Amino acid sequence: PLPAGQEKYGKLDGARMKTFVNEITAVSRKSRDDGELLWGRQAGTKYDDMVEGIVEARFKEWGLSNVRRQYFDLEPQWFPTAWAFRASAGGQTVTFKSIQAGRNSRPTPAGGLDLDVVWVGAGTEADFTGRDVKGKLVVLQSFPMPSVVGHQSGYNGGLQRAAQKGAAAVLINVAIPGNLLTAVGAPNGLTTFSFGTQDMAAFQELLKT
Residue 194 burial (CB count, 10 A): 26
Long-range contacts of 61-65 (CB under 8 A, 24+ apart): none
pLDDT at residue number 199: 93
Whose CA is closest to 192, among 139, 151, 150, 118? 139
pLDDT at residue number 148: 64
Mean pLDDT, rounded, for 192-204: 91
pLDDT at residue number 52: 95
Counting every residue written for the chain, the total comes to 209
Residue 76 burial by CB count (10 A; 0-12/13-18/19+): exposed, middle or buried? Answer: exposed
Residue 123 burial by CB count (10 A; 0-12/13-18/19+): exposed, middle or buried? Answer: buried
pLDDT tens digits for range 46-90: 999 999 999 999 999 999 999 999 999 988 877 888 889 999 998
pLDDT tens digits for range 94-130: 999 898 888 778 888 888 999 999 999 999 999 999 9
Q: What is the mean pLDDT of the chain?
A: 90
